[in-house]
Structure 1
């Protein structure tokens, strides 16, 4: 008879805290995911999008935050949390009138944006999008600087994501939930 299978230990927040600060650490379903912060093209797309969305980040509008830690209850373990670090997130100020004092946010955002790299695409597209849907995030964008695309997704009442559109290259457009401003996608792609 073979040996009994060794029970896999769930990762904890202490495991996340032990990751070097130059890495991004996330907990999803008790698994620790460690990735690089991203290459300069990634940082450029993220920063440029933050600038493009800047006019929305004011009283009466939105909170737009760069890389905050989000904590959501882990349904597979009531004592644990999924800890995600999206590249950019936004909350309507009517839903979150003040920023929390904690080092993390527990309220699901209205919008998330993750910038894809070759090494993070599967994590962000599969695991993280699943958690965002479960938590009721209404809008999600996936930006790919390599392909020069911005995918806009909206959450359906069924809990599934619907691709609203894939926008390419130098388009100037208005995308939900930020139809109030025109985005210049050319600003996101390093020249």
Structure 2
């Protein structure tokens, strides 16, 4: 099968595996979403720095940090991989259960996810992906806003994301699921291009 032909069609991971490698997609409830073209340097600098800081902080720890592109398959129950209809590629993710990681990526909810917002995907990250991360059981979900220089954090409490906390990208922010691990923002933000008015 080639790339998806109709936006209204429903797809599964089994079909997704046969699409061309030169165009990236995510599946959300069976709907194919084309990934944006190559992200901006700002986006990549933020995602890369978060990954780097986590990788250093977690050296020797059981949790594993991964960076996009890596497929995260989010089954609704125990369906076979080929039947899964939600496959996403978070910018940075943390998985503390090694049994969830295989050669194809991750099956099941990561413990922590960070998405760096891009103009073309911001609505999907803030609405559709927040909903599926909540449903799947992602315990902590970060949205980094490069232009606004803000961070929105959602925590899973009793299976739901409550009111998020919004803060500036200043100082450092600890992960709620691993309070001894924090992301330092000041040096990273200083490297970013100035925000255009």
TM-score (normalizing by structure 1): 0.81
Unaligned runs of 5+ in 2: 1-7
Counting only pairs closer than 5 Å after superposition, residues 73-84 of structure 1 correspond to structure 2 as 73=75, 79-84=83-88
Paired residues of 2:101 and 2:107 also in contact (CA < 8 A) = no
Give 3-state SS (helix, strand or coil) of 2:10's partner: coil
| Pair 112,169 (structure 1): closer, same or farther in 2 beyond 3 Å | closer
- Residue in structure 1 matched with residue 169 of structure 2 by the alignment: 169
Deviation track 1:85-117 (CA, whole Å, cap 9, x = no partner) reads 10011012xx226842x2121131110111101
1:120 Cα offset (Å): 0.5
Paired residues of 1:19 and 1:25 also in contact (CA < 8 A) = no
Comparing 117-126 with 163-172, greater Cα deviation is found at 163-172
1:71 matched to 2:73? The reply is yes
Counting only pairs closer than 5 Å after superposition, residues 77-156 of structure 1 correspond to structure 2 as 79-92=83-96, 95-96=97-98, 99-100=101-102, 102-156=103-157
Unaligned runs of 5+ in 1: 1-7
How many residue pairs match? The answer is 178
| Pair 119,53 (structure 1): closer, same or farther in 2 beyond 3 Å | same
TM-score (normalizing by structure 2): 0.78
Give 3-state SS (helix, strand or coil) of 2:106's partner: coil
RMSD: 2.5
Greater Rg over alpha carbons, structure: 1
Deviation track 1:112-150 (CA, whole Å, cap 9, x = no partner) reads 111101111111111111111111111110011111111
Matches of 1:111 and 1:173, distance apart in 2: 14
Counting only pairs closer than 5 Å after superposition, residues 56-67 of structure 1 correspond to structure 2 as 56-67=57-68
- Residue in structure 2 matched with residue 4 of structure 1 by the alignment: none
Matches of 1:98 and 1:11, distance apart in 2: 22
| Pair 59,81 (structure 1): closer, same or farther in 2 beyond 3 Å | farther
